[in-house]
Amino acid sequence: MTNFLGLRLQCRVPILVCVPSTSGYSKTVSRGSSRKWNGGGTTRASRRLVLGLGPSFLAQFMSMVGTVGGKTFIASASLKGASSVEEILKNAEWPEQFPFKEEDFQRFDESSDSLFYEAPRFVTHIDEPAITALTKYYSKVFPPSNSPGVSILDLCSSWVSHFPTGYKQERVVGLGMNEEELKRNLVLTEYVVQDLNLNPRLPFEDNSFDVITNVVSVDYLTKPLDIFKEMCRILKPGGLAIMSFSNRCFWTKAISIWTSTGDTDHALIVGSYFHYARGFEPPQAVDISPNPGRSDPMYIVYSRKLSRA
Ligand SMILES: C[S@@+](CC[C@H](N)C(=O)[O-])C[C@H]1O[C@@H](n2cnc3c(N)ncnc32)[C@H](O)[C@@H]1O
């Protein structure tokens, strides 16, 4: 399927899950050392679902695809010939103002995220080769395991963070929406349950983290600039932020500028968050896809907090 820009739509149809209601919250939990792993089971859900697409669904879909405010910016970047994820941020020419509009951050499903994430999903959201590629990437760029004073934050975390096996730091915080998932994440030393779309303020002190990760979830953030500014605030000078993404998503919960564009555009979108948040080095993109065309692609957009920010 192509969109109004002639770009391929690469998000696959999401798993749609109906969950009952719950409340909004922000909760921090510190973890003692005596926890037991319950097994949990990595059920791998089918990622394809045949939907009966009604006229209203299609109407909204077409309107989301055709009216996004960031289209001029993305189209002009594409026209400049950078056709790959690795190229798009090289010599990026950023408009003076953040090019995206409010409607670019709307979602097909605007109901509370706490409803959507109420039920735990003990699944993996990318395939094994993509996970392996991400873990390998982390092992190259993370501070060595057990480095004194090192703190890591995994944003939009779940029951897995894909860190290298046995990787440990004094403080590894996970922030996400589902407490059951976070409780089972063995790499975390503490976790926070918080809806970042309701409250983008990160509940941490200035200059407190060495690394921030976010795996296949940056597309669910409706206030990304606020969150990237917060990331800058809480990173130590020189601290590293690693945003990774593939071409899958919960389509109804991803922002419209994401669902209406492709992988290369996604790198530009995430790069723009770093750029306009200010306080970061120019963002860079890496394609770590393990078997292009044969398994899930995997991309990284990363940046470091300026040492003088
Ligand atoms: C596709 S899952 C990815 C989970 C995990 N990073 C992984 O790689 O398995 C999306 C995650 O984003 C988190 N998330 C989605 N919307 C969020 C929000 N509004 N605030 C905080 N976290 C959110 C959810 O908790 C969920 O775990």
Per-residue pLDDT, 134: 98
Residue with tokens 């010939």, as numbered in its chain: 81
Pick from 106, 195, 217 the residue to mutate for probing ligand 1's pocket: most ligand atoms within 8 Å of its CB: 217
Per-residue pLDDT, 56: 43
Torsion sign over Cα 265, 220, 198, 58: positive
- Counting atoms of ligand 1 from 1, which one is nearest the CA of 159? 9
Per-residue pLDDT, 70: 78
**Torsions phi, psi of 302, nearest 5?**
-135, 160
**40 contact partners, CB below 8 Å, separation of at least 6:** 122, 159, 184
Per-residue pLDDT, 208: 98
Per-residue pLDDT, 91: 84
Strand 299-304 relative to strand 171-176: parallel, antiparallel, unpaired? unpaired
For residues 247 and 216, the answer to whether their CB atoms sit within 8 Å is no
The residue-averaged pLDDT of 258-269 equals 96
CA-CA distance, 239 to 237, in Å (whole number)? 5
For the segment 219-259, what is each residue's pLDDT rounded down to a tens digit? 999 999 999 999 999 999 999 999 999 999 999 999 999 99
DSSP string computed for 67-122: --TTHHHHHHHHHTT--SHHHHTTT----SS----GGGG-BS--S-HHHHTSS---
CA-CA distance, 251 to 12, in Å (whole number)? 8
- Confirm or reject CATH 3.40.50.150 for domain 54-304, answering yes or no: yes
Q: Where are the domains of the chain?
A: 54-304
For the segment 136-190, what is each residue's pLDDT rounded down to a tens digit? 999 999 999 999 999 999 999 999 999 999 999 999 999 999 999 999 999 999 9
CA-CA distance, 275 to 278, in Å (whole number)? 6
CA-CA distance, 262 to 247, in Å (whole number)? 8
The residue-averaged pLDDT of 199-221 equals 98
Is any ligand 1 atom within 6 A of the Cβ of residue 244? no
Look at ligand 1, atom 2, and give the residue with the nearest C-alpha. 217
pLDDT of 292 higher than 50: yes
Ligand 1 center–CA 113 separation, angstroms: 10
Per-residue pLDDT, 69: 62
What pTM was estimated for this model as a whole?
Answer: 0.82
CA-CA distance, 209 to 72, in Å (whole number)? 36
Is any ligand 1 atom within 6 A of the Cβ of residue 100? no
For the segment 31-74, what is each residue's pLDDT rounded down to a tens digit? 543 232 222 222 233 332 223 334 344 444 444 444 446 777 88
What is residue 297's three-state secondary structure?
A: coil
